[in-house]
Every structure is written in C-alpha cells, then in structure tokens.
Structure 1
Amino acid sequence: MKIVVIGGTGLIGSNAVKKLNEHGHEAVPAAPSTGVNTLTGEGLKEALQGADVLVDVSNSPSFADDDVMNFFTTSTTNLIAAAKDAGVGHYVALSIVGTDREAEVGYYRAKVAQEQLIRNSELPHTIVRATQFFEFAGSIADTCTVDGEVRLPHVSAQPMAADDVSTAVARTAAGEPFNGIFEVAGPEPMPVDVWIRTVLEWRQDPRKVVADADALFFGGRPGQTALLPGPDARLAQTRLAAWLAADRKA
C-alpha cells in the first residue's frame, strides 16, 4: 500500500515511515520540508496521488490557543478535501488521551475540533488517542519550572514511549479502518510528578519536583483521572525503567 504520512519527518512520523517501509509498504513522508504545506494546501494533491492511506501526525508550530485551533481546523479541512479527491481509503490521525475531558486547555480543544472534522468527513477513518510520551518529560519540566522548582499536579498519568506510539500508528495505517477512536497507553500508571521526578533524577537534573494542587498542566488543572486511558485502551510494553536505560545509552 502507498501510505502518505503528514508530519512524516517528525518524532512519530519518521519512525512510523520506517516501520511501514520495513514491512513492505510504500510509506512517503510529507512535511513543509518535502514541499507539502497543509495550511496552504501546497503539494497536497501531488503527495496524495495514488495513496491508499493518509496518516496525520503533524503538529502546530505554535501552541497559542488561536494559532493551534487555526492550524488543526485549517490543515484538517485541507487534508479531508485532498483525501477525497485522491480517493484515499483510510484516514488515520494521532490525537491525545483526555482531549474530551480538558476543555480549558486550548490545545485539547483544537484536537477535539480536528477529531470532529474527521469523524464528520464520511471518510473511512481511525483516530488513535495516545497518552503523554516519555520523551516529553524534559519539556514538561521546563514548562512547569517556577523559581527553580518543577511544580506539577499530583494526578495520575500512563505515559508511553514514542516508539510504541509509532508502532500503534503504523499498525493502524496498515490495517482496516476502525471508523472511530481507540486509545493506546503505557503499561503502568503513575503520578505525573513521580514520572517527571524519576526522569530528572536519572538524568542528574538538580531541579526539585514539587507536587502542587494548584499547578497547571498544559495550561489547565486536570482531574485525577483526566490523563488516564479508559479500560479498553491497548497497552504498550515499554516501561519507564526500560526507556530510561535506553535513553542513557543513547
């Protein structure tokens, strides 16, 4: 199958392209650097020529509320139109566990809008909602650092390795449309502050991690279960300890 991966040069997309090609598919990365711009539509028609599957793992260059909403609504509208014109048989999109529970977070509102556009498009589709990536620990710590301390809500999450996310996306792209949403998550739940503290200590980062009931997470105050997947989530295999060991080797 020919599978076009929008955002195919990024963390998840490049790995998904590699996995798909290793399994005999023709996976093609598409991004501004390859001449494909989903906001303007530039290069979309050419990129989707003969495509069986469209995978969207792209991300907004700005996380400001208005910018991210414009990115996901505009790019998804353009992708849907291009996919219909090209006769694409499966539209796969990567989203986030908890998007429908965190309405105060602008990024999550934008992902909900993206999901709704895809679900209303009448295209055969699958939306994969993933939990937070282990790889985001450092950037989360940076965002939540106040006066030298990393202040985080003491709520549970179930983070996962980006490689496992790429595997889930690749398998979905190679399979039949689900015509709905399913979740993928790491194998072990843990409080967000414990996760970030563990990573920082492993990396010998001296910052103190503090559990703070008033701390924001991506601009909102998540409830105790807001970042956790549902009971039917498909669980990945990589545990935090194994990921950390591999991270140090890298």
Structure 2
Amino acid sequence: MSYLQNFRLDGRRAVVTGGAGGIGAACVDALLEAGAEVVIVDFAEDSLTAAQERLAGQPVSFEKVDLTDCKAVNALADRLGAIDILVNNAGIGRQTAAEDISEEEWNQVIAINLNAVFWCAQAFGRGMVSRGKGAIVNMGSMAGEIAVRPQKNVHYNASKAAVHHATKSLAAEWAPNGVRVNAVAPGFIETPMNAFALKNDKVTSGIWLGNIPMARFGNPSEIASVVLFLASDASSLMTGSIVLADGGYTVW
C-alpha cells in the first residue's frame, strides 16, 4: 500500500466554487498539484479573468454562474457531465448587528452561504450517487460551531452552522451510494474577506489573536491541504466530519 498515492487525484475532475480567489484559489492549486482536472466556478468577472491569466496552460476551465440560481446550477451540472469532486467554497461575510440586519442582507447571506451549497451538492451529487462514487467538501467555519467575538454576524454564523448540519445529513443519506460528504471549518485566515481586521483594525485582530492558542492567523494553503485530504482517498473512511482548522481557537 502506498500512503502518498492515496492523495493523488489523477484522472479525476473537480469543481471548485468561488475558486478564483482566496481559499478557493489555494484549493484549486492543491487539486491541480495532485493531478486533478479542475473547473473553477465563480461570479466575479475580474477574479475569473485574473485566474485565467494565473493558471494559463493548466488543466483548468472556467464557468461564470450565479450559484444562488438553482436552475443555473443544474444546467451547469448537466453541461459538465461526470464530476468526481465538488469543493463547495463560495461564500460571503457580512458584519451587522442583529437588530439592524435587513431582509435583503439576511437573504443574500443565506442564499450564497447555504442555499448555493445545497444546490451545488444536489446537482453534482445526483451524478455521484448514480455512479456510486464521489467526494464533496463543503466550506464551513468555526463560526458554525461558536459565536465568534467581537464581530456581529448572526446571519453568517447561522448559515455556516446550517452548512455543518447539511454536511452530516447528506453524508448519512449518500453513504450507501459511495458518496462522501465532509466539511472544513476554518478559523481566521489571511484572505481578502478578513482584510478589514487583519490590516486595519488592531482592536479586532488583537482580540482574534488573543483567542488563538497558536497566536497566528492561518494561510489559505493550510485550508487547501485539508480540502485535498478530504477530497482524496486518504480520507476514505471519513464522511459527515467537520474538520476544524482554527489554530486551536475553539478549544478555549
């Protein structure tokens, strides 16, 4: 038995949503290095253009799709055909006090962070179930396990908690069909989404760092490494798992 070979993804096709930047881009790099062919699905035109330039010559294709549109997601799955790996990474963060969250803002966060995750899992999961194999990795958050301070974002926290439970529910339902469904729950990662605190807000970043036993923020590559593990045969006995990668934040 070759343990390292279990991490290889040669001959497999993967879809990475929100794969044009941040953690998603690191996931794309990890899957490519392991031998997969990757389809990047994103909605930001500028990010897609930059990703096309960065990954020129790689076995990558690009799709601009509104993932909150169930019909558009189903059409994408039909168009792409057999997919072995789905990385449900697309998401947004908003910070607003609970008493001030508008209906529009609440619906936007839930639509992108939760509904889109399910539409993609459902659309690509159908093919996986029918073929009797597949791996889905959802992007959760430690905020799906705890209420992180000092930011006020009940809608974000609720959406990620729902992603965690949807992951477990799908895992239980599809395990007999050979489809594994797991999630990664990152802590504070150095991405554009957290730039407001990492670069400009010493109070917020100070509180964050003070609550991380490792006393540092994570790098997108560290989350991508966990995604690669969960997407590969190295994690063949795992389904329904929520893997925390938070520098120890949630142990206190």
Q: Tell me the TM-score range normalised by the shorter chain.
A: 0.5 to 0.7
Q: Distance in 2 between matches of 1:48 and 1:73?
A: 22
1:139 alignment partner in structure 2: 196
> Does residue 51 of structure 1 match 2:76?
no
C-alpha displacement at 1:66, in angstroms? Answer: 3.5
- Please give the TM-score of this superposition, normalised by the length of structure 2: 0.63
- List gaps (5 residues or longer) in structure 1: 190-227, 232-250
Q: Deviations over 1:41-100 (max 9, x none)?
A: 314324652111111111137664342123223212311220232226111012212422
State the secondary structure of the residue aligned to 1:87: helix
8 Å contact from structure 1 (residues 30, 47) kept in 2: no
2:114 alignment partner in structure 1: 73
Cα 1:18–1:152 change in 2 (3 A) is closer
- Please give the TM-score of this superposition, normalised by the length of structure 1: 0.64
Q: Distance in 2 between matches of 1:17 and 1:141?
A: 24
Q: Distance in 2 between matches of 1:151 and 1:73?
A: 27
Q: Distance in 2 between matches of 1:6 and 1:126?
A: 16
Q: Distance in 1 between matches of 2:221 and 2:21?
A: 12
> Does residue 163 of structure 1 match 2:221?
yes
1:30 alignment partner in structure 2: 41
State the secondary structure of the residue aligned to 1:101: coil
What number of residue pairs does the alignment pair up? 188
Q: Distance in 2 between matches of 1:230 and 1:8?
A: 30
Q: What is the identity percentage for the equivalent residue pairs of Structure 1 and Structure 2?
A: 18
**Structure with more strand by fraction:** 1
Q: Distance in 2 between matches of 1:10 and 1:177?
A: 30
Cα 1:177–1:132 change in 2 (3 A) is farther
- List gaps (5 residues or longer) in structure 2: 1-11, 46-62, 96-104, 175-179
- The one-letter amino acid of 1:9's match is A
C-alpha displacement at 1:9, in angstroms? Answer: 1.0
Query: Aligned-residue CA RMSD in angstroms?
Result: 3.0
**Structure with more helix by fraction:** 2
Matches within 5 A, 1:57-206: 57-60=89-92, 64-87=105-128, 89-102=134-147, 105-121=154-170, 122-123=173-174, 124-135=180-191, 138-140=195-197, 144=201, 153=207, 155-157=210-212, 158=214, 159-175=217-233, 176=236, 178-179=238-239, 180-186=241-247
State the secondary structure of the residue aligned to 2:138: strand
State the secondary structure of the residue aligned to 1:134: coil
C-alpha displacement at 1:10, in angstroms? Answer: 1.8
Cα 1:38–1:140 change in 2 (3 A) is same
My pick for the range that moved more, 161-170 or 28-37, is: 28-37
8 Å contact from structure 1 (residues 38, 44) kept in 2: no
Q: Distance in 1 between matches of 2:205 and 2:90?
A: 29
8 Å contact from structure 2 (residues 135, 181) kept in 1: yes
C-alpha displacement at 1:141, in angstroms? Answer: 5.2
State the secondary structure of the residue aligned to 2:15: strand
Q: Deviations over 1:187-245 (max 9, x none)?
A: xx6xxxxxxxxxxxxxxxxxxxxxxxxxxxxxxxxxxxxxx1449xxxxxxxxxxxxxx
